Amino acid sequence: MKIALIGAGNLATRLGVALVAGGQSVVQVYSRTEASAAALGKTLHCPAVTSLEQVCRDADVYIVAVKDAAFSGVAASLVSGRSRALFVHTAGSLPMSVWEGVASRHGVFYPMQTFSKQREVDFSAIPIFIEANNAADLTLLKALASALSTQVYEADSRQRRALHLAAVFACNFTNHMYALCGHLLDEAGLPFEVMLPLIDETAAKVHELPPAEAQTGPAVRYDENVIARHLEALSAHPEWQDLYERISKSIHHDKLRFNPD
């Protein structure tokens, strides 16, 4: 099976590396940015092109891993002249229906993880959510995903939208809590490293307990003394102060709603 990779960002890079390591044949990469295309082509030992017209016409699967905003600009020109192939995108936030009227065989191949250029990730532990508009291609995507990961799930577009939204909370918003923590430590002349055991334990805990049950801290019991002291300590940062208050209230409401005792 010949795979062409459309995109050369963080996700495309990690996915390409995992595909090649898994013995798959990545025949070409495309990025409109020459340096990115060249770098990924070099990494994957395959040709790199910077114009959609140069993309090969004989791949079996085209994996489109570009920014959501760039998708529609890429899709139509890509499919033209290659319409017998299977086309998939990798975006959690885009429904499968974006392919309707564009490509007759289409689907979604969504590896749910946070990718950085700086960091290797173990693809085998990444859940991959797949969807296709026909049974044969769903089987094909399942085989492709299973070659990369032990966690392969079918998910329809509604579920994938929920996954993507939930992942924003669990990953992006969590990381921002780490960032605000880091800024507060900076201001007190303390290194971020002191917080790592707590960060690790907080993540480890929800492997065993549902997060609503794992909740600790002043907000659960709405300890007004501690909360008032913290809000005062944040007075130089009105935006963080506002977040502190609102997240605390949400924790307290959650406790009343899901876990009263």
DSSP state of 52: G
> Which residues within the stretch 188-207 sit at the binding site for a second copy (CB under 8 A)?
188-190, 192, 194-203, 205-207
What DSSP line would sit under 15-34, residue for residue? HHHHHHHTT-EEEEEE-SSH
Which of 31-39, 47-55, 57-65, 246-254 is the region at the interface with a second copy (rule: CB under 8 A)?
Answer: 246-254
Least distance in angstroms from the C-beta of 135 to a second copy: 22
Total residues contacting a second copy by CB under 8 A comes to: 96
Whichever of 58 and 156 has its CB closer to a second copy, that residue is 156
Chain positions 171 to 190 lying near a second copy, rule: CB under 8 A, are 171-185, 187-190
Indicate which single residue of 116, 136, 154, 256 sits in contact with a second copy (rule: CB under 8 A).
116
φ, ψ of residue 18 in degrees (nearest 5): -70, -40
Neighbouring residues of 74: CB distance < 8 A, sequence distance ≥ 6: 6, 52, 64, 66
Phi, psi of 187 (to 5 degrees): -65, -30
Write out the binding residues for a second copy, residues 1-30 only, by CB under 8 A. Answer: 10
3-state DSSP call for residue 130?
A: strand
With residue 62 as reference, give the H or E element that holds it.
Answer: strand 61-64
Q: Which residues 135-154 are close enough to bind a second copy by CB under 8 A? A: 151, 153
User: What is the token pair recorded at 167?
Assistant: 């992942």
Instruction: Using the minimum distance from each CB to a second copy, give the nearer residue, 42 or 249.
Output: 249
Q: Is 162 in the site for a second copy (CB under 8 A)?
A: yes
